[in-house]
Amino acid sequence: MSKFIIALAALLICAQPARAQSTLEDDINKELLDSELGPTTDAPPEAEYPYPGAREEGILPEDNSQTAPRTAQAPRDASPPIEPNRAIERPASINEDTGEYHYDTKHEAPVPRERPGAELPRKTLENDEYVYSTKGSPTEYIGRPGQERPLEMRANGEFKYATEQTEQTGSASFRVGFFAPPMIKNDKTKPPTTFESVYTKDQLPVLFFDYELPITKKLGQLGVKIGSGVFVASGKGRFEIDDPNRRANDIPLEQYTFLMLPNTATAIYRFQYKDGQTLVPYIEGGAGFFTFAEFRDDNSSPRFGGALTTVAAGGLNILMDWIDPQAIRNLDTEYGINHVYLSLEARQIIGLNKSYDFTSSVFNAGFTMQF
């Protein structure tokens, strides 16, 4: 019986609810915490002076009330509001990313001040630079012993003096024209081969160059001229015998080159009566010996020849010094070239050899230099 009572008591103890056990543990933990930190309450501690709401003992309130204790108030900003500085320029814009201020760069142009002996500027630029008038009184020549008087006094203050010109000893010209095909034929072929049948019927360019030596300058200028030039043509060969059974497009494959030198010796008279004359007409006449050579590309020996001619020409020289007088003076100082002319000429050549007849009318143009 006693064993039954002991077992029933043990069963009752194990059957107690879990909440009762949890409450017991919480009470134990609370007793331990209170023993270490002291008892805890839900109300906050009373505020201490000078925090807001705290009371200060022994200080009477401002209204002399004996009942109302003084309480601390939140601090106030007693400094006055900041007024904008009128001397600081307001920025035109603010960079939101960097916080930089951008100011307007436009400003009023400075006003020049009058000073004794100082010239007032004509205007003021945006970068505050002053622009003065460059017009001044004309430059005057002050005569000094041993100093040459200038021919001209320019507005920029430069003096123009007379320059000594080098002595004229001759002239040279370079001209370009078009030469008619010479009436040259080869009687050994049947029918005779002509220049036009081998080369061309069109006019070809020719280069003339000559040198003139003056003889006298009284009543114009009389001189002698020696000249030559270059004339080149190219074409296909021809058969010596004209075979009627040969096809029309059957021609030799050899390439021919014709080179001619129009050598002349003439007398020339220029209607020039003073140095630096703007228009100078001239006439020319004499004789020539035109030499030529014909080359083939098949390693055959070249052929040479020549023929007498007569030459007559007339032309006009136009002075070109006015384009750049300083350049002409430099040419005279460094190279001895006195004047430069534009030359326009018509030349008539009459051949005196029936087999090699170089008769042609040539219009040419170029430049003539006197030195």
Please give the radius of gyration of the chain, using alpha carbons only, rounded to the nearest integer. 60
Q: Which two tokens stand for residue 78?
A: 């007693």
pLDDT at 17 over 60: no
Instruction: Check residue 20 and give its pLDDT.
Output: 46
Secondary structure element (H or E) that encloses residue 36, with its range: helix 18-37
Instruction: Check residue 185 and give its pLDDT.
Output: 78
pLDDT at 18 over 50: no
**Domains along the chain?**
171-241+252-370 (2.40.160.20)
Q: Which pLDDT tens digit goes with each residue over 126-144?
A: 677 877 776 666 666 677 7
Instruction: Check residue 244 and give its pLDDT.
Output: 62
CB atoms within 10 A of CB 216: 9
Q: How far apart are CA 206 and CA 202, in angstroms?
A: 13
CA 363-365-370 angle, to 5 degrees, is 130
Instruction: Check residue 332 and give its pLDDT.
Output: 87
CA 164-169-173 angle, to 5 degrees, is 110
Q: Which pLDDT tens digit goes with each residue over 239-275?
A: 555 656 666 566 667 888 999 999 999 999 999 999 8
Name the residue with higher pLDDT: 82 or 327: 327
Percent of the chain with pLDDT over 90: 32
Name the residue with higher pLDDT: 230 or 182: 230
- Give me the chain's average pLDDT, please: 78
CA 153-157-162 angle, to 5 degrees, is 40
Helix, strand, coil tally for the chain in percent (to 5):
15, 35, 50
> What does pTM read for this prediction?
0.56
